[in-house]
Amino acid sequence: MGLLSHVFLSFSINAQSALAGGISSYAQWRRWSEAPWLPQGDLDPQISSFPAMHRRRLSRVGKLAVAVATEASAGADPATLPIVWASRYGDAQRSLDMIGTHANGDPISPTAFTVSVHNGIGAQYSIARGVTQNASSMSAGLSTPAAGMLEAVALLADGHDQALLVHYDAPLPGAYEQFQDSSMAEYAWAVRISGAKRGEPHFTLQIQPDETAIKNGVVSRLPPGLQILWFLLSDTHTLTQRHHQCTWIWSREHA
């Protein structure tokens, strides 16, 4: 644990996109950041540019992830842009459906299994978009979006000019709902990042073994991923999150 106290990351955001119930445009998200609430309502992610064969294989949360990834990566070369897909639960509804199918003694569709695994959404995106760069999928409990940023910044340290982080989640369905340990909403966001440049506005992320609980009470009722999105969109200087005996400190540096 002592090694974590020395982790200090910095990055700049070149492009971003987010979707949730009733919130889609940047102006709507900015208004949301002034007085955040837990998003609810129907979602209709528009991914008409995505090949129909792959589009049919995606659930709604998958379409959300693909939609924000497409917008945030616009203009970037898929051959040089590595991607991190970070989701705590992934497509849990598909997994639950397959368990029910198996319990009923019916055969499980190979296609359903392919898109239900944790990297299924990222795989469909990579095939459809011709992504030939590094693509990884990860889950780290409540720390999933923060750990995703750690992985994305590590890709910059590996020599990449930019990296794309896509974070998405949805409430646990049906029989899984009893295991939910935080507030949840159906949402997705993506940020395309690069290394911070001296003298220019940027963000930092520090990782420490243990500090205090979340200080920003206004967002404590939001899931961790939406807390981070709120911080990135608002003018708040610092967000502190404590998960699994590890503290993540997000800061905004104006110059």
Q: Determine the average pLDDT of the residues in 21-45.
A: 91
What is the predicted pLDDT for the residue at 58? 87
What is the predicted pLDDT for the residue at 2? 45
Q: What is the mean pLDDT of the chain?
A: 88
Q: What dihedral do alpha carbons 203, 226, 133, 55 form, nearest 10°?
A: -150
Q: In what order do the strands lie in the sheet with 246-253?
A: 135-138, 83-86, 162-169, 187-194, 7-20, 202-208, 246-253, 238-243
What predicted TM-score, i.e. pTM, was given to this entire model? 0.90
Q: For 115-153, what is each residue's pLDDT tens digit? A: 778 888 999 999 898 898 999 999 999 999 999 999 999
Rounded to whole angstroms, the Cα distance separating 182 from 220 reads 10
- More confident position, 214 or 8: 8
Q: Can you name the CATH fold of 15-201? A: Peroxisomal Thiolase; Chain A, domain 1 (3.40.47)
What percent of the chain stands above pLDDT 90?
56
What is the predicted pLDDT for the residue at 221? 84
- C-beta neighbour count of 48 within 10 angstroms: 6
What is the predicted pLDDT for the residue at 255? 66
Q: For 199-222, what is each residue's pLDDT tens digit? A: 888 999 998 876 444 444 556 789
Rounded to whole angstroms, the Cα distance separating 247 from 214 reads 9
